[in-house]
Amino acid sequence: MANVFTLAADRFLGRGEASVAIPPMDGALKPNSAVDKAEHLLAIARPDNLLRAGNSVLFSSGRKLLAVSGNWSRPEPVVECEAEILATASGPDGSIAVFDEVRGLSLLDISKRSMVRRNIARLPFASVTAATFRDADTLLVCIGSTRNSVTEWQRDLLDSEVAGSVWSVDLRTSEAKPIAQDLSYPAGCIVLADGKSALVSESWKNRLVLLDLDQKKAPVPVLTALPGYPGRLSPRARGGAWLSLFAPRNQLVEFVRRERTYRRAMMAEVPKEFWVAPALSSGASFSEPMQGGALIQMGILKPWAPTRSYGLVVALDDHHSPVASFHSRTGGSRHGLTSTVEYGSGLVVASKGGDEIISIALSDGG
């Protein structure tokens, strides 16, 4: 009962969970132009799911899975799925798992350019956001939400759904079991060196949690107050991980999330691209929502509106703390960074919002 009163008071006073405060991008997250200055590799529609496979890099573009071995001007088609590819993962034995909305899980034989479908009961495939191998026979799968499909992620965010889960799939028996439930849109996961725990990004709570894969402990938040929505995680050669934040937070969206009547009317009546919601890219139409305002900066009065889209990749150390970050700011176009993989001396990044694959030199900072 006390909790109900506290929540009501918080809502009235605009504090606690009802606060519309946003963490700053400072310190290790201080904005720069590293993503905008990064080397252009390939212009392609909605690139995603970057993956190392031997000497090649695999990535998806819509329904297609493509591969590049050094020459980025000539990506080779590997397979084409029946629906948009949602997630991929590569195992220690070289096996590659591919998820799509229609067929669910398939295992790829890259040499034969063919896939074998695996029928996994109970797993809600339409909401797969990320996958990673725990060992050669076990796959960890993030289900963003059981209420909304992946393409409806903005609706899931605005409704503040807590309907996500992480599943363990035994590839020998094709059985799946949830190892963590009631998560707020898990969208990335990486198994840690001990093999017993995994780092999972919980997007709508703007945090990373440590998951005990043996389910002996409850998930523990290890990195909180992120200024964006955390997505995929990939291994970092210097230790730790790369975290992609696919969209920025802003106070207007936080406010709308708390205004139920307005939010529902907006989602019912306004086309999705014009919702007051974060996006992978923005600026395509003057009708897009803006939070208007002005501030005096360096003696000049500037009109101001927080961006709906942004490009941000963060380097995490072994203790899951940010140590460096690469940005594409409001004025940039390489937004909606959803996937990363270290390749050669650089970090290859998929800009799903900017329809581009780029490479950030890792000589310093990374």
Our finding on whether 224 is near other proteins (CB under 8 A) is yes
26 scored as a contact of other proteins (CB under 8 A) = yes
Tell me how far, at minimum, the Cβ of 241 lies from other proteins, in Å.
Answer: 15
Asked if 20 is part of the footprint of other proteins (rule: CB under 8 A), the reply reads yes
Q: How near is the Cβ of 298 to other proteins at its closest, in Å?
A: 5
Decide if residue 217 touches other proteins (CB under 8 A).
no
Euclidean distance between CA atoms 69 and 71, whole angstroms: 6
Do residues 309 and 297 make contact, with C-beta atoms less than 8 angstroms apart?
A: no
In the complex, least distance from residue 25 CB atom to other proteins, rounded to whole angstroms: 9
Is 74 an interacting residue with respect to other proteins (CB under 8 A)? no
Residue 32, token pair as written in the block: 């720069």
Separation CA 339–CA 241 (nearest Å): 12
27 binding other proteins? (CB under 8 A): yes
**Closest CB 69 distance from other proteins, rounded Å:** 35
Binding mask 280-299 for other proteins (x = CB under 8 A): -----------------xxx
* Binding window for other proteins (CB under 8 A); candidates: 15-23, 57-65, 197-205, 343-351: 15-23
Q: Tell me if 22 contacts other proteins by CB under 8 A.
A: yes
What DSSP line would sit under 107-151, residue for residue? EEETTTTEEEEE--TT--GGGEEEEEEEETTEEEEEE--SSS-GG
What φ, ψ does residue 126 adopt, rounded to 5°? -65, -15
User: Are the C-beta atoms of 318 and 329 separated by less than 8 Å?
Assistant: no
User: Residue from 8, 11, 23, 117 that binds other proteins (CB under 8 A)?
Assistant: 23
Whole-angstrom CA distances from 244 to 62, 116, 150, 259 are 19, 30, 17, 28
Least gap, CB of 212 to other proteins (angstroms): 18
- The reply to whether 141 sits near other proteins by the rule CB under 8 A is no
Residue type (1 letter), 91: G
> 220: number of CA atoms within 13 Å, CB side?
10
**Cβ of residue 52: shortest distance to other proteins, in angstroms?**
27
Binding pattern to other proteins, positions 230-269, x when CB under 8 A?
Answer: ---------------------x------------------
Contacting residue, 322, 330, 333, 343, with other proteins by CB under 8 A: 322
Using rule CB under 8 A, residue 225 touches other proteins: yes
Q: How far is the CB of 293 from other proteins (least distance, A)?
A: 11
| Binding residue (CB under 8 A) for other proteins from 7, 8, 11, 21 | 21
Residue type, 79: V
CA distance 270 to 295: 30
Q: How many CB atoms lie within 10 A of CB 274?
A: 12
Residue 362's region, left for phi above 0, alpha for psi from -120 to 50, else beta, is: alpha
Which residues, in sequence order, are CB contacts of 240 under 8 Å at separation 6+?
315, 316, 317, 318, 319, 320, 323
Q: How many residues bind other proteins (CB under 8 A)?
A: 29
Q: Is 319 in the site for other proteins (CB under 8 A)?
A: yes
CB of 13 to other proteins, least distance (A): 6
* Least Cβ distance, residue 29 to other proteins (angstroms): 8
Q: Which of 6, 8, 19, 33 binds other proteins (CB under 8 A)?
A: 19
Spell out the alpha helix ranges (H) of the chain: 2-13, 34-37, 153-158, 251-258, 260-269
Q: Which of 30, 113, 117, 177 binds other proteins (CB under 8 A)?
A: 30
Cα distance between residue 281 and residue 176, in whole Å = 35
Backbone φ and ψ for 168, nearest 5 degrees, come out as -110, 125
Query: Which residues make up the interface to other proteins (CB under 8 A)?
Result: 13-16, 19-24, 26-30, 221, 223-225, 251, 297-299, 317, 319, 321-324
